[in-house]
Amino acid sequence: MKKWLVIALLVPVFASFAFAQTGTKKRRPLPYEYGEVVIKNYSSTAGLSPVQFDHWLHRAFYTCRLCHVDIGFAMKANATGIKAADNMKGYYCGTCHNGKMVHGNRKIFEACATKYTKDDLKRCNHCHSKGETVRREYDFSAFIEKFPKERFGNGVDWEKAEETGLIKPIDYIEGISVKRPPLATQKDFAIAAKVETMPEIVFSHKKHTVWNGCELCHPEIFAGIKKGATKYSMTEIFEGKYCGACHVTVAFPTTDCQRCHTKPVR
Amino acid sequence: MPLLFGLLILLFTAAAEAGWDFPPAPPPEEFGNLLIDRTSTKNKVKPVTFSHWSHRRKYTCQVCHSELNFAFKVNVSEITEAENQAGKYCGACHDGKIAFGHVKPNCETCHNGNRGYRKEKFPELSNLPRTRSGNRIDWVSALEEKAISPARFLKVKPPPGITYEKTLLLESEWERVPPAIFSHKTHTAWLECSNCHPEIFNIQKKTTKHFEMKMNLAGEFCGVCHMTVAFPMNDCKRCHPAMKEWP
């Protein structure tokens, strides 16, 4: 009897929390933190620190599609469930990090091992580095110094960096990727905003296919290939769905409103 | 016991509702001034004095709070001497070119632990339109009348701004208090959409109706800026224009 009374009393209290937005500002990640993924499915059971994966370094060398389609990494941290054994068999990170694959003029270091010496532990810490004081081979500030600047995210205009040839992301790995004839990309199209007087969104397939091909977004994130088939709202995007699958955590963030809402309504 | 706990929460909520009050107003030349002391005292230097009025006449809020990534709460941004030297945070302007540099003889200009530092410069603003609270300066009119022309960006030019000018009528929580009128236009003159949306105010229609005056006073919602930097909430009529008297 008493229990029910307590619940009845507490329900309105908690309901008010459920509706409450924060009302305050969250900490915005620093440019070098933006796109950082901490992977910790099995690290602690192996007695290692979680893996810190930085998108900024990999995306300068490889397209999104290569890892998220061809290699098969999920789009959410810790959803892939990567195991050391998988890497050692040449899946996931081990697709490239196998001690054989060549990038530029050097071999890509090998990921994960069952037997290792004390000295090898340093190699583990290359990736299992979250919370460790590891001297990074690539320094963020130096790495992005010459890249065109953007206001948010990594502070880098990746699109322009690719367009101007400053970066040439690789989109094909022998034996993993499939060679396909390029598809004719659709024209840009406008998506009307739901709120009156908000500028319309101009969506460019061309800009997206450079990094993603078709299959990163279709059909899982955007079901139909017909305009208007998938219905979504800005709130869902903020929650990390639809455009937010990338544009909240890795691709330029939704804070940059005008970058999508570009077409003024008369 | 849980019953007691539940009742306590309810009582506490009720008490807070009945008992809120405005914090004491600082002198106009100190309104919006901060002492930043995240690590200063720990590192044996005096806290940093920062005055919003001296900066906002030259730069809009979004320059520092978007482009330079200063948080909206004091001592949250991880400002360090090294970051400043590398041209981040304060160092973006305080480089010896745009503004005085981050070099030896200038240390005490900021690290002086004095909230009212340089108040003798405040009269320089006496030709700006007046108001009755905060800095006693009507910053909105000052901007509209072009008495000041604060910059909208520093290094990276933003794409053309979104002109969203809808005025909202926010019903008050108490019957006797007339609604607050919110103008997007006066806010976007200083800020960009993402300064407030979606973190402070989500964008779903009519879902902010539950926010109350006491939350504003606790530094949430409107209170993120209004009370500490933007005009204080004692100036009731500025938001609730139909209110009859000045308390």
What is the value of ipTM here, to two decimals?
0.82
Partner residue opposite B3 with nearest CB, options A5, A149, A199: A5
What does the pLDDT average to over A55-74?
Answer: 97
Q: Is the C-alpha dihedral spanning B118, B123, B127, B128 positive or negative? A: positive
The pTM of this model reads: 0.86
Q: What confidence score (pLDDT) does residue B217 get?
A: 92
Report pLDDT digits (tens) over A89-144.
999 999 999 999 999 899 999 999 888 788 777 788 899 999 988 888 899 999 99
Pull the structure tokens for residue A1.
């009897």
> For residue A219, is the peptide bond before it cis, meaning its omega torsion is within 30 degrees of 0?
yes
What does the pLDDT average to over B184-206?
Answer: 90
Three-class SS of residue B181? strand
Measured CA to CA, the distance from residue B74 to residue B51 in angstroms comes to 12
Q: What confidence score (pLDDT) does residue B15 get?
A: 42
Say whether B199 and A26 touch across the interface (CB within 8 A): yes
Residues 8-47 of A with CB under 8 A from B: 9-10, 13, 16, 19-28, 30
Tell me the chain A residues in contact with residue B166 when contact means C-beta distances shorter than 8 Å: 196-197
B76 contact partners, CB below 8 Å, separation of at least 6: A27, B38
Say whether B9 and A10 touch across the interface (CB within 8 A): yes
Q: What confidence score (pLDDT) does residue B45 get?
A: 96
What does the pLDDT average to over A36-44?
Answer: 96
Q: What confidence score (pLDDT) does residue A119 get?
A: 79
Say whether B221 and A254 touch across the interface (CB within 8 A): no
Q: Report strand pairing: B48-51 vs B33-36.
A: antiparallel
Interface A-B, measured as beta-carbon pairs within 8 A, has a size of 103
CA angle B199, B231, B242 (to 5 degrees): 95
Measured CA to CA, the distance from residue A138 to residue A11 in angstroms comes to 52
Assess contact for B197 and B203: CB atoms under 8 A.
yes
Q: What confidence score (pLDDT) does residue A11 get?
A: 46
Q: What confidence score (pLDDT) does residue B12 get?
A: 45
Q: What confidence score (pLDDT) does residue A102 get?
A: 94
Say whether A27 and B76 touch across the interface (CB within 8 A): yes
Report pLDDT digits (tens) over B122-176.
999 999 999 999 999 999 999 999 999 999 999 999 888 788 888 999 888 888 8
Three-class SS of residue B84? helix
Partner residue opposite A197 with nearest CB, options B66, B153, B166: B166
Assess contact for A107 and A28: CB atoms under 8 A.
no
Check residues A15 and A247 and name the one with the higher pLDDT.
A247
Assess contact for B91 and B102: CB atoms under 8 A.
yes
Q: What confidence score (pLDDT) does residue B21 get?
A: 82
Measured CA to CA, the distance from residue A10 to residue B7 in angstroms comes to 9
Measured CA to CA, the distance from residue B100 to residue B121 in angstroms comes to 16
Measured CA to CA, the distance from residue B164 to residue A196 in angstroms comes to 9
Question: How far from the centroid of its chain's Cα atoms is residue B112's Cα?
Answer: 22
Report pLDDT digits (tens) over B216-238.
999 999 999 999 999 999 899 99
Measured CA to CA, the distance from residue A133 to residue A80 in angstroms comes to 26
Say whether B69 and A30 touch across the interface (CB within 8 A): yes
Instruction: Assess A89–B contact: CB distance below 8 Å, yes or no.
Output: no
CA atoms within 13 A on the CB side of A58: 22
Assess contact for B223 and B217: CB atoms under 8 A.
yes
pLDDT band at A2 (very low <50, low <70, confident <90, very high): low
Say whether B210 and A16 touch across the interface (CB within 8 A): yes
Of B10-14, B68-72, B147-151, minimum mean pLDDT range: B10-14
Q: How far is B17 from chain A (nearest CA, A)?
A: 14
pLDDT band at A265 (very low <50, low <70, confident <90, very high): low
What does the pLDDT average to over A157-167?
Answer: 96
A70 contact partners, CB below 8 Å, separation of at least 6: A173, A176, A177, A178
What does the pLDDT average to over A185-198?
Answer: 85
What does the pLDDT average to over B41-63?
Answer: 97
Tell me the chain A residues in contact with residue B228 when contact means C-beta distances shorter than 8 Å: none
Q: What is the mean pLDDT of chain B?
A: 89
pLDDT band at B8 (very low <50, low <70, confident <90, very high): very low
Q: How far is B187 from chain A (nearest CA, A)?
A: 16
Q: Is the pLDDT of residue A237 over 60?
A: yes
Measured CA to CA, the distance from residue B73 to residue B92 in angstroms comes to 19
A16 contact partners, CB below 8 Å, separation of at least 6: B210
pLDDT band at B95 (very low <50, low <70, confident <90, very high): very high
Q: What confidence score (pLDDT) does residue A14 get?
A: 41
Q: Which residue of B has its CA nearest to A8?
A: B6
3-state SS, one letter per residue, for chain A: CHHHHHHHHHHHHHHHHHHCCCCCCCCCCCCCCCCEEEECCCCHHHCCCCEEEEHHHHCCCECHHHHHHHHCCCCCCCCCCCCHHHHHCCCHHHHCCCCCCEECCEECCCCCCCCCCCCCHHHHHHHCCCCCCCCCCCCHHHHHCCCCECCCCCCECHHHHHHCCCCCCECCCCCCCCCCCCCCCCCCEEECCCCCCCCEEEECHHHHHHHHCCCCCCCCCCCCCCCCCCCCCHHHHHCCCCCHHHHCCCCCCCCCHHHCEEECCC
Residues 145-184 of A with CB under 8 A from B: 149-152
| H or E element that contains B83 | helix B81-85
Measured CA to CA, the distance from residue B114 to residue B82 in angstroms comes to 23
Q: What confidence score (pLDDT) does residue A3 get?
A: 58
Q: How far is B163 from chain A (nearest CA, A)?
A: 8
Q: Which residue of B has its CA nearest to A4?
A: B3
Q: Compute CA distances B190 → B139, B144, B146, whole Å.
A: 10, 11, 13
Partner residue opposite A198 with nearest CB, options B5, B86, B162: B162
What does the pLDDT average to over A214-238?
Answer: 89
Say whether A258 and B219 touch across the interface (CB within 8 A): no
b/e per residue, A112-139, with b = 16+ CB within 10 A? beeeeeeeeeebbebbbbbeeeeeeeee
Q: Is the pLDDT of residue B28 over 90?
A: yes
Assess contact for B158 and A151: CB atoms under 8 A.
yes
